[in-house]
Amino acid sequence: MAQLQLKDVNKSFGDVHVIKNVDLEINKGEFVVFVGPSGCGKSTLLRMIAGLETLTSGEISIADRLVMDLPPSKRGIAMVFQSYALYPHMTVYNNMAFSLDLQGFSKSEINERVTEAAKILQMEHLLDRRPAALSGGQRQRVAIGRAIVRDPEVFLFDEPLSNLDAALRHDTRVEISKLHRQLGATTIYVTHDQVEAMTLADKIVVLKEGRVMQVGSPMELFNQPENEFVAGFLGSPKMNFFDGQLVGSADFQGDDVSAQGARLVSTEKSAGDNVKLGIRPQHLVIDEQGALAGNVTLVERLGTETILELLTPGGTLFRFASAESLDVEVGQDLRFSFDAAQAHIF
Amino acid sequence: MISRTLKHVVLALIVFIWVVPFVSLVATSLRSELASKTSGFWTAFTPTELGHRFSTHDRGLDEPVLSIDGNIFDRINLTEEDFPVSGTVESVLFKGRVADPENPGKTQLIRKLVPPGEAMSVRDGELVFQPNGDYILTFDEPTIPKPKNLDVFINQDPVFGAAAYEEVLLENEDVPNALIASFIVTIPATIIPITIAAFAAYAFAWMRFPGRDWLFVIVVSLMVVPTQLAFLPILQGFSGIAHWASSLNAWLTDCELSNSCEVASKSYASLWVTHTAFGLPLAIYLLRNYIVGLPRELLESARIDGANHLQIFVRLIVPLSVPALASFSIFQFLWVWNDLIVALYIGPNNGEDLVFPIRLQQQLGTFKDQLHLLNASAVISMIVPVVVFLAMQKYFIRGLLAGSVKGG
Ligand SMILES: Nc1ncnc2c1ncn2[C@@H]1O[C@H](COP(=O)(O)OP(=O)(O)OP(=O)(O)O)[C@@H](O)[C@H]1O
Ligand SMILES: [Mg+2]
């Protein structure tokens, strides 16, 4: 049975329909990441699970209990906010002890739990400090510690890393991932950073304008996107799309490129329909005999990767990414081939 | 750059405008009655030439003497206990007859200022004085001279004394009583509204209930009701309550026996209620605006942690609102402390219970010519808010929310 279940959940703010018919099941111990562009409703969905927003319609159950009428504190969740939301006038210890104190735990038990959480997060030396005397990363850990002491059924994180600099973000990401393995707690994690999503998640939920676009493991989503949005959203640089027509059952015929035997994503398309062919920049191969021609308009050397931006003779922009440091210049004409099995028709 | 200089100039000007009256008040209150009457406060800080009168010696010498010595300052200060004179003696006024150089054998009456070190004739002897006030009066043969009063001009050092304060505070109980009465009125009239307002502000900011916004608008619009407009109904209300309380008193106790059933309608309690009522709209408005600005996620975090409204209020809102609470407390304290009109209409009107502003207003009549006393009272009444302000200063902490949310 699912640890967390959402059934036909809807949310409107006045006339604005923000969450649309979301159905979702999350199993015990799973690390689930909600991704999507800004404003797609990730935070709202998370806050509905937390009990900070009411549902317009639908059902949410946590550990087999319907929780719609329960206050946040009774739902068995703990939440880490994007802004940390630490209590500024309390020490780190008291920040973590606050919820336990409110629940009426004894002093010794509170002490035990707080020390334990502090040990897990390696911040025993910070317990007497005020949040103002902590660095961003330390504050983040206190916020996580505050969640851990509550021993919740489900951890909720709303973009917990977005205030950290790149290096710290990476470290904390690794730490959160370790922590999840260590605690084995069911976790929902909101981000709009696809790297975080890909690296952390057991299961990714891609949202767009309040609708779930696809649910699945990171590699599933990467290799078998169910729609153009998911395909374009995951992966960096973005997937290339070419306009054309569907020919036969799974052949693509376009002005710039053609492909035989690509993966047909949509079942509703039939021969002659306008479709798009999607190929990831990494799946292109430089090939003198290749079908795809392009003129280099931009060369980006990232050190680990070289990214070319090209224009087809038909005027479609596409990208090519290679781990090699290529010897190309702007203005040069290149030809590419690709394995049709790695291409998608949308 | 220019704007910075301009800012500093404006600031200095403001400070000047504020400080001058204060300095004048304090300086005058520390001067002697004579000095405060005869010269402006700005002359009090620099040496000034002033005339004094001293007598060369005490009456009742019983032995003939050849010389008398003494010190002019000591002689003057025999009668100037509170504001002792010091400085340098510039000159002594000589008034008497000397030989007339134009008409030999005749004398002429002259007045002249004799500088230090120059001999002058006094009671048939010779008086010589030094700038430090030492003088010696010598005679040719032993005599018993009568004391002589001499006018002396002294370049006098600034002198201040607390005589006016002693007089105001110790000689009768008006000012001490007024101080006590003002505290009795002001402290509850500050604490009660701020307590009520803090609860109300939290509710207006973070609780959902029907009609919340309308109610808030009504509360805020009450701010514009002038106090004067409400006096009549308030007075009627209080006298109604007093009447009712008197009857209750008569009914419940045996006060008829001592004829003490009457409950005053003008009392400290009526002042507390009135100041609370008039203070609340502004207090609620200020506090709500502060509290509504606290980070929403902080309160949500507390809700997830299991805090109910009261716990959020007590453990989060109050500690985090200390600067706002402190600033409103000061507002209200100042306003009630300095309030004359409400106290006059609604407060107790028997002599002992008069609050400070009423007492000051009365002193304006009685001390009309004693500026130093009036100013001493005024300074005492001013010093209280100043002390309160300085004591509260540490609560105006900026960055109280530091570390709570991003960028903090
Ligand atoms: N209280 C509210 N009242 C009205 N509209 C709201 C409210 N909260 C959110 N919305 C709207 O709901 C939509 C989804 O907001 P949400 O905060 O869930 O987005 P998000 O996916 O978390 O975005 P981001 O990545 O920027 O955090 C947005 O269009 C937002 O304007
Ligand atoms: Mg968000």
Any idea where the domains of chain A sit in the sequence?
A: 2-233, 240-345
According to the model, what pLDDT value does residue B408 have? 42
Write down the ipTM of this complex.
0.85
Give chain B's domains with CATH numbers: 47-157 (no CATH), 165-402 (1.10.3720.10)
Section B193-203 average pLDDT: 96
How is residue B42 annotated by DSSP? G
Tokens of A336: 């590419």
Within 300-329 of B, beta carbons closer than 8 Å to A belong to 300-307, 311, 315-316, 319-320
Helices (H), B105-211: 163-166, 174-206
- Decide if B228 contacts B339 (C-beta within 8 A): no
Cβ of A39 less than 6 Å from ligand 1? yes
According to the model, what pLDDT value does residue B320 have? 92
| pLDDT one-digit tens code per residue, B22-33 | 899 999 899 888
- Decide if A57 contacts A65 (C-beta within 8 A): no
B403 with A50: Cβ contact below 8 A: no
Q: CATH topology of A2-233 equal to that of A240-345? A: no
Helices (H), chain A: 42-50, 92-102, 107-120, 136-148, 166-183, 194-200, 218-223, 228-233
> Which chain A residues are within 8 Å of B312, Cβ to Cβ?
none
B408 with A132: Cβ contact below 8 A: yes
Q: pTM for this one?
A: 0.81
- Structural Rg of chain A based on CA atoms: 24
- Find out if CATH 3.40.50.1820 is the number for domain A2-233: no
Mutation choice for B interface testing from A54, A80, A98 by most B CBs within 10 A: A98
Higher per-residue confidence, A59 vs B79: A59
CA nearest to B147, candidates B10, B241, B55, B15: B55
How large a percentage of chain B has pLDDT more than 90? Answer: 39
| pLDDT one-digit tens code per residue, B354-378 | 999 999 998 888 888 888 889 999 9
Q: Is B65 helix (H, G, I), strand (E, B) or coil?
A: strand
Quote the CA–CA distance of A80 and A73 in Å, as a whole number: 14
**Ligand 2 is a single-atom ion; what residues have CB below 5 A from it?**
A 43
Nearest-ligand number for the alpha carbon of A35: 1
Cβ of A218 less than 6 Å from ligand 1? no
According to the model, what pLDDT value does residue B401 have? 66
According to the model, what pLDDT value does residue B403 have? 64
Whether residue B176 has pLDDT greater than 50: yes
**What confidence tier does A75 reach under pLDDT thresholds 50, 70, 90?**
very high
Quick one: A240-345 is in which CATH superfamily?
Answer: Nucleic acid-binding proteins (2.40.50.140)
Whether residue B407 has pLDDT greater than 70: no
According to the model, what pLDDT value does residue A225 have? 92
- Show the CA angle centred on residue A34, arms to residues A31 and A36, nearest 5°: 155
Lowest mean pLDDT among A182-191, B57-66, B263-272: B57-66
Whether residue B406 has pLDDT greater than 60: no
Residue nearest to atom 24 of ligand 1 (CA): A38
Residues counted in chain A: 346
Which atom of ligand 1 lies closest to the CA of A207? 21
| pLDDT one-digit tens code per residue, A256-307 | 888 888 888 877 788 888 889 999 999 999 988 888 899 999 999 888 889 9
> Which chain B residues are within 8 Å of A139, Cβ to Cβ?
403
